[in-house]
């Protein structure tokens, strides 16, 4: 409840916004945009399915499918 995205004194969150490799998604559990990590969920015949996991609470926030590169 007391978490404010504008006053994060425990991490360098703001400084990392310029890093485009970091993905932020809104986490309903943390009630803020949180950095997420990718976790390999499934290997499909034509690609891979990844899940986005909140780095703070571990909640799954979404997923992403990548193609294996074969047309």
Exactly one of 36, 52, 53, 54 binds Zn ion (CB under 5 A); that residue is 54
Which is nearer to Zn ion, 23 or 56 (by Cβ)? 56
- Least distance to Zn ion from the beta carbon of 12, Å? 18
- Picking from 26, 32, 30, 50, the residue whose alpha carbon sits closest to that of residue 40 is 50
Exactly one of 8, 11, 29, 68 binds Zn ion (CB under 5 A); that residue is 29
* Sequence-separated contacts (24+) of 19-26 with Cβ below 8 Å: 23/52, 25/52, 25/54, 25/61, 25/62, 26/61
Q: Is 32 in the site for Zn ion (CB under 5 A)?
A: no
């Amino acid at each position: 409840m007391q978490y404010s995205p504008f006053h994060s004194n425990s991490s360098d969150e703001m400084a990392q916004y310029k890093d485009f490799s970091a993905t932020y998604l809104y986490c309903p559990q943390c009630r803020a945009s949180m950095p997420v990590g990718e976790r390999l969920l499934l290997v499909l015949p034509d690609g891979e399915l990844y899940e986005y996991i909140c780095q703070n609470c571990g909640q799954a926030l979404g997923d992403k499918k990548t193609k294996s590169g074969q047309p």
